[in-house]
Structure 1
Amino acid sequence: MNSKDKIYSLPQLQEQVQNWRNQGQKIVFTNGCFDLLHLGHVDYLEKARQLGHRLVLGLNTDSSISRIKGPSRPLQDEMSRARIMASLLFIDAVVLFDEDTPLNLIKAIQPDILVKGDDYAVNQIVGHEVVEARGGEVKTVPLVQGYSTTNIVKKIENTINLNKA
């Protein structure tokens, strides 16, 4: 399978999710920017996938990331990020969303399991009410400490500044 085949529009994804459900598979959903893929992301996504049969990743669009993280982000464009994320074996589907939160996406997909890192409390996770209302589960998974895109960007900036000095 080509990584492009795992990038869906919302209507395509809704149809695919229904097909998986008809096969008795549990749908896990998580979301994020995934601007620079690092060990923390890989570990988190592997753990999320282990909670069900299929992992759907909601990926913030470029404009969404700029609104949330500022004009210097994202570092990589949305199609590059989508292809990179879709290439991971444990991700079954990637869908872009343009809002600041994935709430509308969660309402449209109705995942069985909603996952975020353990830096969130369950009641802070956007969409928890939607998933719980239909009998789904909301879970957190432990994060690998010390890994973040922000830390990587700071390290790169510090290296550049040291080389200029």
Structure 2
Amino acid sequence: MNIEVEIKVKIDNFEEIKEKVSKIGKLIKSIKQIDDYYVPEHRDFFARKPHPVEWLRIRTNPDKVVWEYTKSINQREDGDYDYAEEYETEISNKSELEKILGFLDFKKSVTIEKYREYWMCDDIEVALDNVTGLGYFIEAEAKGDFKDEKEAKKACIDFLEGLGIKDVENKQIKMGYPQIYLESKKN
């Protein structure tokens, strides 16, 4: 099982946070990503409240295209989730996959474009995101050898608070960018 533990927070002080990250981490790469999210006709992943627990996307990076499925796990008593299983594979022909998805009654639900910087800060991978139409975000993902998911989550929270982001547990955004985008269009 591929367990992903990450914490995402919206930030208003992007340059200040980036400067702090640059002092303690190493820039891995800076890229533009385009994420196309798909849903099957018979089951709209985005209809689940408070937010989806499944994602199916084609991520276009400058150097490769990746097909990903993510499913939230570890449901809490309040109905929310802390962790996700993530599976991905590189694809060589995006347009052919899109045709196959169409034949299988999958439809493109939303496209998210973002400019992302990946930084490595010890055992935390940091993504600094400028998401078109949504603003700036930071994601801290546990990449080290942690005892369990709770320890990994605490490491992410401690890292973000160390950057001066206060009250991370309450500011944490559980929704993905497509859900945030779709919610913003309702208002």
Query: Which TM-score band applies after superposition, normalised by the shorter structure?
Result: under 0.3
**Comparing both structures, which one devotes a greater share of its residues to helix?**
1
State TM-score, norm by structure 1: 0.26
State TM-score, norm by structure 2: 0.24
